[in-house]
Chain A
């Protein structure tokens, strides 16, 4: 069975600093996808970034990058130049190819950006 682990329940970062949110995963399937979502206090889930298991390069989307280390089974999210609006809950998720496109989510990391 697949599993996502996020070991940081809460993180603080100063505005304009970079922050890394940890995510490790466990699967025996060679083909999978990894996602990060942001959930502000308003509740909606916002898709941020995706990494496929066969992608050679780490995914980047604006200030978000995914540090994908396949051998370590980690997919950490890096947010550069943090902004106050980045304060939110962040979830890592995994999709298994052939698993009906369903996602398995981690328990989330609450990020707070401070002045």
Chain B
């Protein structure tokens, strides 16, 4: 079974703090993704990576950065957390072979106060 783990289920941070969300997958997948999920908006792609040290902006990259130094690990960084970044963050991974379904981690519910 594919397993995607995220460093925390719940996180509370203060405005202006630097926040790291970590994601690890154990299936040797090339592709990894970070989404945020907000009520009524569904999942929105923040960043994705198709290889080590490669990254691509998604639909809402502003205020975020990412790091992928190893194939199995994809980190999301909030350089200076703001209250509008309070959300559920979901990490996912997928293989390069079809049908490319994404496997998701359990999510991190981040609250910025």
Contact = CB atoms under 8 A, between A and B. Distances in A.
Interface of A: 4, 6, 9, 33, 35, 37, 42-45, 47, 50, 52, 91, 93, 95, 100-108
Contact of B48 (A37, A43, A91, A100): A100
A102 B42 contact: no
Interface stretch (B14-22, B60-68, B73-81, B92-100): B92-100
B88 A101 contact: no
Interface of B: 31, 33, 35, 40-45, 48, 50, 56, 58, 88, 90, 92, 94, 96, 98-107, 109
Main secondary structure of the interface of B (DSSP, over half): strand
A34 to B, nearest CB: 10
Contacts of A33: 98-100
A43 B107 contact: yes
A49 B92 CA distance: 17
Given A100-B50, A102-B33, A47 B101 contact: yes
Contacts of B100: 33, 95, 101
11 contacts: A35-B101, A44-B107, A47-B102, A52-B98, A91-B42, A93-B43, A100-B48, A102-B58, A103-B43, A106-B42, A107-B41
Contacts of B45: 102-104
A9 B100 CA distance: 27
Contacts of B43: 91, 93, 103, 105
